[in-house]
Amino acid sequence: MQSIAPNGPAAHSPADLPSDVLVVEDDTLIAMDATETISGFGVESVRTARDVASALQLIAECAPDFVLLDVGLIREKSFAVADQLDRQRIPFAFVTGYSGPAGVPAAYAQYPVLRKPYLRDQLLETLRRWRD
């Protein structure tokens, strides 16, 4: 992700951001970078999960305000998590390096998608629109 000046075009107020974000990402470096970036935006709590089972457990323990959901996790897709988030009406956005139907199937077309590699500004805009 690219850095931006703290008072530049992506300056924000934490009031317009979710206070608890769950990042479901199997790549440790990407998860760490996303967590650090989201915390830098002023989000109070950022949690991570590496697989479907861990994500579902964290959601059951304490439902997050918003979830960044990587489509392709190690040996599994994250659609079971997407279905649970939909049932609980928890807003989320898919994150994927895939394009077309290999990325996000048409059944999930109503959800926002961040394409990897995404910019810091794109992540911030996705978080700002978490209630949309």
Q: Which pair of structure tokens corresponds to residue 92?
A: 């989320």
pTM for this structure? 0.87
Going from N- to C-terminal start, the domains of the chain cover 18-101+111-128
Superfamily for domain range 18-101+111-128: Response regulator (3.40.50.2300)
pLDDT per residue as tens digits for the range 74-108: 899 999 999 999 999 999 999 998 776 567 888 89
34 within 8 A of 25, measured Cβ to Cβ: yes
92: closest CA among 58, 119, 130, 120?
130
Q: Give the per-residue pLDDT at 97.
A: 87
